[in-house]
């Protein structure tokens, strides 16, 4: 399939507790994203960075303790959702560059504006906390709950706007979940594949199952790739690293299966933090994996 990819930078860290993730889009571009995607055979246009609320006054601890900077997150979400849905309407596959994982609310809402979508969420974390269950108050631990309208998020318009149903959401690579969050995931209709599932069944089966969940009855799939899905040995430049993640080979294989499925509607790369990185290797890895997800092959 001919694909045109529109890069949308979302340089924000309002959902995270670690400064620096707002520089993710620059680091990923500097790592050669556009060239790498061109080598995958897609045509690329970089729309630059979206405007994000001003930084000079940014205090990472400001706002409600339960959901820090929710106001700013909402602003970024709205801007990104509009950019994503416009790109789709114009025939592009939107690729959002985070920024922290709270941007996924905007990607999903935008991707779902004119379609029923499923989601595959590659992440060490469940990102299914709500303001009442979150131990940190960081909204990047909440985007799945937000888009599904769980708990406090029922009162927001995000779930209505996304129309997302938990039956079409699959998490892959889970290994660090908060206690109440774990119970909530178990009680939900989300399909969660933990690292143990990958150990036991292999990345191919697990990824294909996840894609089946997300494509079942939907028009397309949003692929959300949190770089902390990978083992910190491969991806040290993230704010919330967790040992025991996907290997370099597993990650490429999973992304190649995403490409093979032909189901990708929208895409995002999140949580790259250049301040915590070593020689930009996490950003470089992000560009490589994006290319695999968009069809790049060894031969």
Ligand X SMILES: NC(=[NH2+])NCCC[C@H](N)C(=O)O
Instruction: List active site positions.
Output: 101, 123, 125, 127, 140, 226, 228, 271
Phi, psi angle pair for 232, to nearest 5°: -60, -20
DSSP H or E segment with residue 96: strand 93-98
Instruction: Mark residues 200-239: x for contact with ligand X by CB under 6 A, - for none.
Output: --------------------------x-x-----------
123 binds Mn ion (CB under 5 A): yes
- Choose which of 38, 66, 86, 136 interacts with ligand X (CB under 6 A): 136
Give the integer Cα–Cα distance in Å for 100 and 178.
19
Q: How far is CA 134 from the centre of its chain?
A: 19
- Choose which of 125, 175, 252, 265 interacts with ligand X (CB under 6 A): 125
How many residues touch ligand X under the rule CB under 6 A: the total is 15
Question: Is 123 known to sit in a ligand binding site?
Answer: yes
| Cβ-contact 227, 242 below 8 angstroms | no
- Binding to ligand X, residues 49-108 (CB under 6 A): 101
178 binds, among ligand X, Mn ion, none (CB under 5 to 8 A by kind): ligand X
- Choose which of 69, 113, 140, 175 interacts with ligand X (CB under 6 A): 140
**Residue closest to 64 by CA, chosen among 74, 55, 54:** 74
141 binds, among ligand X, Mn ion, none (CB under 5 to 8 A by kind): ligand X
The nearest distance, CB 101 to ligand X, in angstroms, is 3
141 binds ligand X (CB under 6 A): yes
Phi, psi angle pair for 121, to nearest 5°: -115, 100
Residue 20 burial by Cβ neighbours in a 10 Å radius (0-12, 13-18, 19+): middle
Give the integer Cα–Cα distance in Å for 227 and 269.
7
Q: How far is CA 49 from the centre of its chain?
A: 17
List of residues contacting ligand X (CB under 6 A): 101, 125, 127, 129, 134-136, 138, 140-141, 178, 226, 228, 240, 271
List of residues contacting Mn ion (CB under 5 A): 101, 123-125, 127, 226, 228
């Amino acid at each position: 399939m001919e694909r045109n990819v529109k890069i949308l930078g979302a340089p924000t860290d309002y959902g995270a507790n670690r400064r620096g993730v707002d520089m993710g889009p620059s680091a990923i571009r500097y790592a050669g994203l556009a060239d790498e995607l061109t080598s995958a055979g897609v045509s690329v246009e970089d729309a630059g960075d979206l405007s994000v609320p001003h930084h000079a006054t940014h205090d990472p601890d400001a706002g409600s303790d339960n959901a820090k900077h929710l106001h700013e997150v909402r602003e970024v979400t709205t801007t990104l959702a509009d950019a994503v849905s416009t790109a789709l309407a114009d025939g592009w596959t939107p690729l959002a560059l985070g920024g922290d994982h709270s941007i996924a609310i905007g990607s999903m809402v935008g991707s779902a504006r004119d379609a029923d979508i499923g989601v595959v969420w590659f992440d060490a974390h469940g990102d299914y906390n709500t303001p009442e269950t979150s131990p940190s108050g960081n909204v990047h631990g909440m985007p799945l709950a937000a888009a599904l309208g769980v708990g406090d998020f029922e009162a927001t318009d995000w779930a209505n706007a996304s129309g997302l149903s938990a039956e079409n959401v699959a998490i892959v690579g889970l290994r660090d979940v908060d206690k109440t969050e774990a119970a909530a995931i178990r009680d939900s209709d989300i399909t969660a594949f933990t690292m143990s599932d990958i150990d036991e069944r292999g990345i191919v089966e697990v990824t294909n199952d996840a894609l089946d969940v997300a494509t079942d009855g939907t028009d397309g799939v949003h692929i959300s790739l949190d770089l902390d899905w990978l083992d910190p040995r491969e991806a040290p430049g993230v704010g919330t690293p967790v040992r025991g993640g996907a290997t370099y080979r597993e990650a490429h294989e999973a992304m190649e299966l995403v490409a093979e499925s032909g189901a990708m509607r929208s895409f995002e790369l999140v949580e790259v933090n250049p301040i915590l990185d070593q020689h930009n290797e996490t950003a470089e890895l992000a560009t490589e994996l994006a290319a695999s997800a968009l069809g790049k092959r060894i031969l």
